[in-house]
Amino acid sequence: MKGFFKSSIGKKFIMSITGCFLILFLTFHMCMNLVYVFSPEGYNMVCQFLGSNWYAVAGTGILALGFVFHIAYATILTIQNRKARGNDRYDNQNLPSGVEWSSKNMFVLGAIVCVGLLVHFCQFWAKMMFAELAGCEGTVPEGFATPGYETKAAVDGAAWIGYYLSKWWIVLLYLVWFAAIWLHLNHGFWSMFQTIGASNSKWIPRLKTISTVFTSIIMGGFALVVLVAFFRNCCGA
Amino acid sequence: MAEHTGLNLTLRVWRQENRHAQGRFETYEVKNISTEASFLEMMDILNEQLINEGKQPVAFDHDCREGICGMCSLFINGRAHGPDDDITTCQLHMRKFHDGQTITIEPWRSGGFPIIRDLMVDRSAYDKIMQAGGFVSVSTGGVPDANAIPIPKADADEAMDAAACIGCGACAATCKNGSAMLFVSAKVSQLALLPQGRAEAAKRAKAMVAKMDELGFGNCTNTGACELECPKSVSIAHIARLNREFLKANIKD
C-alpha cells in the first residue's frame, strides 16, 4: 500500500470511507431523533443512555476524527483541482444537462453543512454531552423542561428540542441546512461506491436511485422531527 | 431551383502568440457559409480570408477529419467539440448554427494542456501517460485461431467501447477539476478486459495513475461531465474499474 494514500485515487478513497462513516452516523442520529416524534420521554431515555458515558464519548471522538479527515482531504483535493484546472477559465461553458448541480458544488455544500453543524453543536451538544463532561450543567429555559427532568438539563434533549424548534426562523434554518445535506449526500452516496470501484455501467443508475431514496429517507426523517417539534411546542399540540 | 443562402456569422476567436503570451478574443465576420460545410471547413474559409487580408491565420489542430484521430480540439459556444453530442469538432456541421449567430471559439483550457498557439494545445501529457503503461509488454506469441482464447462477448464489447477513446482531451478540458481519469480509465479498461492485457493490469493501473498524478491532472469528483462531452461516449463505469484495479494492485503489494 506504499504511496496509495498519496495518490489521487487514494485520497478519494479516504473521502469515501470517512463519508460512509458519516452517513452511518447520520442514519443512527435520525433513528434516535425519530423516537422524539413518538415519545419525548422515550427520547430523553435515549439521551440518558448515551449521555457522557464512555461509549458515547468514544463514538463522538471517532466521529470527530472522521469528520476532520473528510474536511481536510476535501480541502486538499479542492486546492489540487483548482490548480489542475489552470488559471484560464472558459469565457462561456454550457455543460449539457445530466451534470448534477451538487456534484459541481460539493465543497460549497460541505461548507454550509459545517456552519450548520457549528450552530447545532452550540444549541445541543454544548448544553448536553459537553456540559455534563465539563461539569457546568445549565438549566432548560422556563416552561420547556420535561416533567421529572427539571434538574437534569444535560439529558433533557426533548426540552432543548422544544425550546429551539419552537421558533419559526430556527426551523427554517434547519430545513435549509437539511436541504444542503440532502444535496451533499445525494451525490456523495453513489459517488462513494464509484470511488471504491464497487460500481459498473449497470449499477451506476441503480446506485443513483438508491442514493436519492436513501438520502430522502434520512433527511425526511430529520425534517419530520423538526416540524413535529415546531407544531408541538409552538402551537401547543 | 431555390436560391441557396449561406450563413453570415460573427466569430469570436481566441488568439494567443504562444504559451506565455497574453491571449485575447478577436472578432471576425464570415459570410455565405454553406450549412453543408463542416465546422473545420468554415475555419479554413476564415483562414483564407485572413491570409488574403495579410493577417496571420488562426492556428488549430486537425488531421483525419473523420472523427478517429483525436486531433481536433475546439471549445465551441461553451462545449467541447461544439453544440452536438457524441461527435468530434471535425464531424460538426454548420447546419447546427443559424444565420447571424455569434460563435465563440476557445482552445481546451486545462492545466494539463498548455496553449501552443491560438486554438492549439499541447496534449503530449496524454502520450506520456500512455508511455508509462498503456501497452502490453508480455510476449503473446504468434497469431492464434480466432476462437482459441474464448472471450465473453460482454467483455469484448466493453473493451471495444473503451478502445473507442481517441485521446482528444475533451474529458480533461470539460472537467472542472482538469482530471484525466476518463482517458486513463478507458486505456486501462480496454487492456484489462482482454486476456493478453490482463496479465499486467495491476502494474499498468499503478504506473498510469502515478504518471497522471505526476503531470498535475486533477482528482475525479464524479461529476460525469467528461462522459457527457466525450465524442465516443466512453462511460464513467471505466473509472470505477480503474479505481478497482488500482485498489487491488495496492492491496497485493
Residues A212-236 have pLDDT tens digits of 999 999 999 999 999 999 999 876 5
Q: Domain coordinates of chain B in residue numbers? A: 7-117, 124-252
Gap between the Cα atoms of B64 and B165, Å rounded: 15
Q: Compute the distance between CA of residue B206 and CA of residue B215 in angstroms, rounded to an integer.
A: 14
Q: How many CA atoms lie within 13 A of A128 on its CB side?
A: 24
Question: Is A57 in contact with A102 (CB distance < 8 Å)?
Answer: no
Q: CB–CB of B253 and A199 under 8 A?
A: no
The answer to whether residue A95 sits within a structural domain is no
Nearest CA in chain A to B111: A86
A70 touches B: beta carbon within 8 Å? no
Eight-class DSSP state of B56? P
DSSP B65: S
Q: Would residue A91 count as lying in a domain?
A: no
Beta-carbon separation of A85 and B212 below 8 A: no
Look at residue B168 and tell me whether its pLDDT is greater than 60: yes
Give A89's contacts in chain B (Cβ within 8 Å). Answer: 109
Is B82 a residue whose pLDDT tops 80?
A: yes
| Alpha carbons A116 and A118: distance in angstroms, whole number | 5
Cell readout for B197 is 492485457
Whether the Cβ atoms of residue B196 and residue B156 lie closer than 8 Å to each other: no
Inter-chain touch B179–A197, beta carbons under 8 Å: no
Minimal Cα–Cα distance from B135 to chain A, Å?
21
Q: Fold for domain B124-252?
A: Fumarate Reductase Iron-sulfur Protein; Chain B, domain 2 (1.10.1060)
Owner of C-alpha cell 467483455: B155
Domain-embedded: residue A12: yes
Residue B230's nearest CA partner among B167, B176, B163 is B167
Structure confidence at residue B149 (pLDDT):
87
Q: Is A149 exposed, middle or buried (0-12, 13-18, 19+ CB in 10 A)?
A: buried
The number of angstroms, rounded, from the C-alpha of A103 to the middle of its chain's C-alpha atoms is 17
In B, minimum Cα distance to A100 occurs at B223
Distance between A68 CA and the closest CA of chain B, angstroms: 19
Which A positions 12-41 lie with beta carbon below 8 A of chain B?
12-13
CB contact set of A125 (below 8 Å; sequence gap of 6+) = none
Let me know if residue A183 belongs to a domain: yes
Confidence of residue B148 (pLDDT cuts 50, 70, 90): confident
Q: Which amino acid is at A135?
A: G
Domain B7-117, CATH 3.10.20.30 — does that match? yes
- The shortest C-alpha distance from B170 to chain A (Å) reads 12
* pLDDT, averaged across chain A: 93
Cβ within 8 Å of B, A 181-200: 187, 190-191, 193-200
How far does B232 lie from chain A, in Å, by closest CA? Answer: 15
B152: left (phi over 0), alpha (psi -120 to 50) or beta: beta
Point out which residues pair with B28 in neighbouring strands.
B11
- 8 Å CB contact of B177 and A2: no
Nearest CA to CA, how far is A104 from chain B (Å)? Answer: 6
Q: Which of A2, A4, A9 to mutate to test the interface with B (most CBs of B within 10 A)?
A: A9
Residues of A in contact with B218 (CB under 8 A): 8, 80-81, 83-85
Please list, in sequence order, all residues whose beta carbon lies within 8 angstroms of the beta carbon of residue B48, skipping any fewer than 6 positions away: none
Which three-class secondary structure state does DSSP give residue B114?
coil
Contact B107, B119 (CB under 8 A): yes
- The model's pLDDT over A101-123, given as tens digits with 9 standing for 90+, comes to 999 999 999 999 999 999 999 99
**Residue B45's closest CA among B81, B6, B14, B75?**
B6
Give the pLDDT score at A235: 65
Position A237 scores a pLDDT of: 47
CATH number at residue A58: 1.20.1300.10
Q: What percent of chain B has pLDDT over 90?
A: 92
Is residue A89 a part of any domain in this protein? no
pLDDT band at B4 (very low <50, low <70, confident <90, very high): low
Residue A2 pLDDT: 73
Residue A23 lies in a domain: yes
What is the average per-residue pLDDT within B116-134? 97
The domain total for chain A is 1
Half-sphere exposure of B38 (CA within 13 A, CB side): 15
Q: Would you give per-residue pLDDT tens digits along chain A (237 residues)?
A: 778 999 999 999 999 999 999 999 999 999 999 999 999 999 999 998 998 889 998 998 999 999 999 999 999 999 999 999 988 899 988 887 889 999 999 999 999 999 999 999 999 999 998 888 888 888 888 888 888 888 888 889 999 999 999 999 999 999 999 999 999 999 999 999 999 999 999 999 999 999 999 999 999 999 999 999 999 987 654
User: Which DSSP symbol is given to B178?
Assistant: -
CA distance B199 to chain A (A): 20
CA-based R_g, chain A, Å: 20
- pLDDT at position A3 is 83
In whole angstroms, give the CA distance from residue B24 to residue B15.
6
Contact B112 A84 (CB under 8 A): yes
Say if residues A188 and A23 touch (Cβ distance below 8 Å): yes
Name the grid cell of B5: 443562402
pTM of the entire predicted model: 0.93
CB contact under 8 A, B240 and A194: yes
CA distance B4 to A80: 52
- Best to test chain A binding among B20, B96, B106, B176 (most A CBs inside 10 Å): B176
Question: Where are the alpha helices (H) located in chain B, listed in sequence order?
Answer: 39-52, 124-133, 153-163, 170-174, 181-192, 195-198, 201-214, 225-229, 237-252
Q: Are strands B115-117 and B79-80 parallel, antiparallel or unpaired?
A: unpaired
Q: Could you tell me the residue range of the domain that residue A152 belongs to?
A: 4-83+101-233
For Cα atoms B247, B251, B253, give the angle at the middle one, nearest 5 degrees: 120
Question: CB distance A85–B221 less than 8 Å?
Answer: no
**ipTM value for the complex:** 0.90
A62 touches chain B (CB under 8 A): no
Residue B59, Cβ density class (10 Å: 0-12 exposed, 13-18 middle, ≥19 buried): middle
Q: Residue B220 and residue B210: Cα distance in Å, rounded? A: 14
Residue numbers in A near B77 (CB within 8 A): 92, 94
Residue of A8, A92, A204 with shortest CB distance to B219: A8
Q: Do A200 and B223 touch (CB under 8 A)?
A: no
The answer to the question of residue A96 being in a domain is: no
CA distances A149 to A40, A48, A129, A139, B152, Å, are 11, 11, 15, 10, 67
Percent of chain A with pLDDT over 70: 99
Cα Rg of chain B (Å, integer): 21
Cβ separation B219–A194 shorter than 8 A: no
**Mutate which of B250, B251, B252 to disrupt the A interface (most A C-beta within 10 Å)?**
B250
- Span B140-153, mean pLDDT? 87
Q: What is the dihedral of CA A156, A162, A167, A171, to 10 degrees?
A: 90
The pLDDT assigned to A137 comes to 80
A108 Cβ under 8 Å from any chain B Cβ: no
